[in-house]
Structure 1
Amino acid sequence: MAEDTTPTEYEWTLASFTDTIHLGGVAMWAWSPSRRLAQLDGLCREFWGTAETVVPIDELFAKVNPEDRHGMMLDWHASATDPGPYSFDFRIGDGSDARWVSARGVGGDTGQVGEWVQAIFLDITDRKRAEEAEHLLTAELEHRVSNMLTVARALTAIVAREAKSTPNFAEDLSRRFGVLHEATSLATRSHKHDLGDVRLQNLAERILSPYRDGANVDVAIDGSVTVEPGRVNDYAMIFHELATNSAKYGALSGGGTLRLHGVIEGDEMRLTSDEGVAPSKADKADGTGFGSRLLKQTIERSLRGRFHRTIDGSGLHFEMMVPTE
């Protein structure tokens, strides 16, 4: 049986029309330039956070975000005399709950009926928040790329000064760039999956994994110890310096034990690295090399913390304290 496709007339009513445009985020309103009053429909009252149908226009101006108010008022007054279409955006309220709206209409006498200028407000909050998120991501990416290039340039210069041969230079530089890659991978994955901060335990295990063969590496960092993605590179460099220094002069050079522990104490994070009895060449790890200078710059300048290292009869000991905020 064929379906009846005969068109039927649809009766538009004011209520159905209003409901339809409200579903699209469009609110209707009108204002009187002479009496400085505004008439608001139901959705418009929701936008402005008022229960009144007729309100003084200056009460609406007072609800506009302070950062947007001056520009919005200039556009608003210009629309009163300019006969062309207008569209300008601003926020109602402030903070995370601010609503973005776009004021649209036709200016001058064209949009006026009697003493009232008729226009609409369009809710554009979702679009604006998406734009803000995109701008933030772009700015963060630019910052990260700039930071990575700065670190790479500094590492290249430092390694070049200390290298004894071309193969030594290439090996050391490649290893350090590998650390940066591991750190960036962790930070990127935390963003991708909206996991937020990176657990320091996971980062330390990742960086120390190449040194586990033939050595006992114990990593015990409290699960509450996390770092924001922007600081992952700093901690990756710290762990790398501790590991490579131990592999050259400490316990890892002779199959010993490296214990890396971390806890939160008050408003600070305490990280310690302890090794077994120091081998005879441990005096080379006296803190005067470029690795120690890099540690000092990272911990004291970048992380605003402090650290000290000691070498005694029981082995090599490292301790750092970093503010958690």
Structure 2
Amino acid sequence: MAEGLDMTGAGWTLANFTAAIHRGGVALWAWSPTCRVAQLDALCREFWGVSESTVGIDALFARVNAEDRARMIEDWWASEREPHAYSFDFRIDEGPSARWISARGVGGEAGRVGEWVQAIFMDVTDRKRAEEAERLLTAELAHRVSNMFTVARALTSIVARDAKSTPLLAEDLSRRFGVLHEATALAMRSRAENPGSVALGTLADRILAPYRDGGNIDIAIAEAVMAPPGKVNDYAMIFHELATNSAKYGALSGGGTIRLRGWLENGASRLTWEEGAAPPQAAKAEGTGFGSRLLRQTIERSLGGRFARTIDASGLRFEMVVPAA
């Protein structure tokens, strides 16, 4: 130890060390397997949303996310028995605001002080959300690549129906793919440069322009309905997903009609997408694949809105409501 350093002063206290640990996001706790109670420090109580320092472990189990609860309880009891270091993650509460916690310690006698099993909790919410975003991005990329091939097939079929010659077909396809690329580039520039708001009518028109001859597309979105900075890509993805699904299963697969409407109402942007029944030969949409999950993730989590989709003999109706910019 370097001479002259005082490590016995007022700053070298248990309270100060505990505060330093808390600032690092680490909470201290202990629990009794026999009495089925836990003792929680202040940060632990914040994690669990309780005010008492001594809480029954069953009350804590009840606060664990329903999807994680059974596995977490199994890991919890195993942490007492098995004499080695452990780490298991779980969520407290439900929904997008759930907090991710990592429980860490050493099992067996090494982790005990008398009746009590000691361990730590760490808030790992930011890391878990980053991992989730990375997984979503990877899945989204794969989905978009698949969709681009679908779009290519759909546009080729649309153009081929009326093409008078091979050179005209090639020219028409090149123009349509150019417009589609322009719309995608607009969205990507928004993500990278964060410019001002973009009119949703303009964005929808660019996304749907390549399909114009494949179906009757009627767009009427009020000028006041805007995609705010940083959210243009979200709306572009929604329009692109709806158009791709229509090319696969709906109106755009057989010369049908699409009506896209948008307006402001009670501080929210409302959009409706309606299309007539798919032709008899069209495949049927399941509505449970990654595209549906992507729509839900984008509309509910990223845009903070909600949507509803109905498919019946008369066709499809999609409606979304998002807080206005």
Superposition TM-score, scaled by structure 2 size: 0.65
Partner of 1:257: none
Specify which of 9, 19, 26 is matched with residue 6 of structure 2: 9
Give 1:90 deviation, angstroms. 0.4
1:149 matched to 2:149? yes
What one-letter code is carried by the residue in structure 2 that aligns with 1:8? L
Give 1:222 deviation, angstroms. 1.6
Partner of 2:239: 232
Partner of 2:93: 93
Distance change >3 Å, CA 262–CA 127, structure 1 → 2: closer
Partner of 1:82: 82
Query: Secondary structure of the equivalent of 2:89?
Result: strand
What one-letter code is carried by the residue in structure 2 that aligns with 1:93? D
Give 1:202 deviation, angstroms. 2.5
Give 1:102 deviation, angstroms. 0.3
Identity %: 58
Higher alpha-carbon deviation: 87-96 or 228-237:
228-237
Are the counterparts in 1 of residues 38 and 57 from structure 2 also a CA contact under 8 Å? Answer: yes
Superposition TM-score, scaled by structure 1 size: 0.65
Distance change >3 Å, CA 178–CA 110, structure 1 → 2: same
1:42 matched to 2:42? yes
What is the CA–CA distance in structure 1 between the aligned matches of 2:43 and 2:187, rounded to whole Å? Answer: 42
Give 1:153 deviation, angstroms. 1.8
RMSD: 3.8
Give 1:225 deviation, angstroms. 4.2
What is the CA–CA distance in structure 2 between the aligned matches of 1:19 and 1:108, rounded to whole Å? Answer: 28
State how 1:1-325 maps to structure 2 within 5 Å.
7-11=4-8, 12-192=12-192, 199-203=199-203, 221-225=221-225, 228-233=235-240, 264=263, 323-325=318-320
Give 1:235 deviation, angstroms. 8.7
Structure whose alpha-carbon radius of gyration is higher: 1
What is the CA–CA distance in structure 2 between the aligned matches of 1:38 and 1:60, rounded to whole Å? Answer: 9
Higher alpha-carbon deviation: 200-209 or 79-88:
200-209
What is the CA–CA distance in structure 2 between the aligned matches of 1:76 and 1:31, rounded to whole Å? Answer: 11
What is the CA–CA distance in structure 2 between the aligned matches of 1:263 and 1:89, rounded to whole Å? Answer: 43
Query: Secondary structure of the equivalent of 1:67?
Result: coil
Give 1:53 deviation, angstroms. 1.0
Length, aligned pairs only: 248
Are the counterparts in 2 of residues 91 and 99 from structure 1 also a CA contact under 8 Å? Answer: yes
Give 1:30 deviation, angstroms. 0.4
| 1:264-287 Cα distance to aligned partner (Å, 9 max, x none) | 49876599xxxxxxxxxxxxxxxx
What is the CA–CA distance in structure 2 between the aligned matches of 1:196 and 1:115, rounded to whole Å? Answer: 61
Distance change >3 Å, CA 208–CA 262, structure 1 → 2: same
- The ranges of structure 1 where at least 4 consecutive aligned residues each deviate by more than 6 angstroms after the TM superposition are 194-197, 234-237, 265-268, 301-305
